[in-house]
Amino acid sequence: MTRVKALTKPAFGTGTCPAFYDAARYQIKACNTQECPATEKPMTCSAATDVIILFDGSASMGAWGWKQVVKGAAELAKAFAGPDVKIASLLFSGPTNFDNVGPCIGQINPANENATAVDLVKDCGIQWVTRFDDNKTGEVVAEDIAKVEWPQATTLTSLALAEAGAELSHGREDANSIVIVMTDGAPLSQLECSKQAAKLKTKARLMWVPVGNKFLDDSVFEPWASTPVKDNIVRVKDLKLVPSALTINQILTNFCPNLMYGNESIFQVMEEEAVQESLR
């Protein structure tokens, strides 16, 4: 679990303020440290959480990989249940025309003064599936995710992170915020991704779920993930395991303080198993 103290006012004169990750403002407490019982279906998280699921639709996925990621994103959405949860989901790919990369990330203005602004969906490959203000349940968000079409373009991860940061302004001050990124490859710009990840981490917990076997070095994600890094990178090398209960549960147990298994809390399940074990 993470808690953060916001600055009430910026420093002025010769005064200073603790940095965002300073111990005076940023604290981490391990949760769900107990050994979990074997589960055949995904757990659910009912804690007060604003969650944004970003899932990769780049061409490098391949048709079968794309299906697994869509299923995984949908299963993850279904794992968030209850009135205290708000869910947003975004499908990201990237420009098919590399001339649009600069304009999409706001670095280059179109040469033609009369040119229209870039279109997030058509030009940049960024598509919101659901927003916080839609107030949809995890089950409905999962249905919406299952309907999206495969963009088959590039990987403009940095813009997806920037969009997630903007969406958090529609979240709640009293809820934990987390952004979960499912991706199979390196972003178009690691530098820009680093910049946007750093900004996003001041607003929410940022978790990465790298999938497939196209990463020569998984450590590339470490600077982009929230701390502690080991709890915010869930590596899934086998694509068929992306939508599995094993993967969904691993993601949830890394941050959710209120886990349910069916109609029981995970703690109740463990207590029952302990009793049964003592009677054997």
- What average pLDDT does this structure show over 88-111? 85
pLDDT above 70 coverage of the chain, percent: 82
Inter-residue contact 240 to 25 (CB < 8 Å): no
The b/e string for 213-231 (b: 16+ C-beta within 10 A; e otherwise) is eebeeeebbeebbbeeeeb
Q: How confident is the model at residue 88 (pLDDT cuts 50, 70, 90)?
A: very high
- What average pLDDT does this structure show over 89-100? 93
Q: How confident is the model at residue 26 (pLDDT cuts 50, 70, 90)?
A: low
Predicted confidence (pLDDT) per residue in 36-74, tens digit: 555 677 899 999 999 999 999 999 999 999 999 999 999
pLDDT at residue 20 tops 70: no
pLDDT of the residue at 64: 95
CA dihedral in degrees (239, 242, 243, 246; nearest 10)? 120
- What average pLDDT does this structure show over 264-279? 57
Beta pairing class for 126-130 and 176-183: unpaired
Inter-residue contact 127 to 120 (CB < 8 Å): yes
Predicted confidence (pLDDT) per residue in 142-193, tens digit: 999 999 999 999 999 999 999 999 999 999 999 999 999 999 988 999 999 9
pLDDT of the residue at 215: 80
pLDDT of the residue at 261: 82
CA distances to 1, 6, 67, 218 from 26, in Å: 11, 9, 38, 26
Token duo for residue 248: 């969904």
- Which domains are seen in the chain, by residue range? 42-261+269-279 (3.40.50.410)
pLDDT of the residue at 106: 80
Tell me how far apart the alpha carbons of residues 102 and 106 are, in angstroms, rounded to a whole number: 6
Kindly report the three-state secondary structure assignment for every residue of 43-78.
CEECCCEEEEEEEECEHHHHHHHHHHHHHHHHHHHH
pLDDT of the residue at 75: 97
CA 27 to chain centre: 20
Q: How confident is the model at residue 199 (pLDDT cuts 50, 70, 90)?
A: very high
- What average pLDDT does this structure show over 214-224? 87
pLDDT at residue 93 tops 90: yes
Predicted confidence (pLDDT) per residue in 252-270, tens digit: 999 998 888 877 766 555 5
- DSSP-assigned letter for residue 34: S
- What average pLDDT does this structure show over 125-154? 97
Token duo for residue 87: 């869910």
Token duo for residue 154: 């590039």
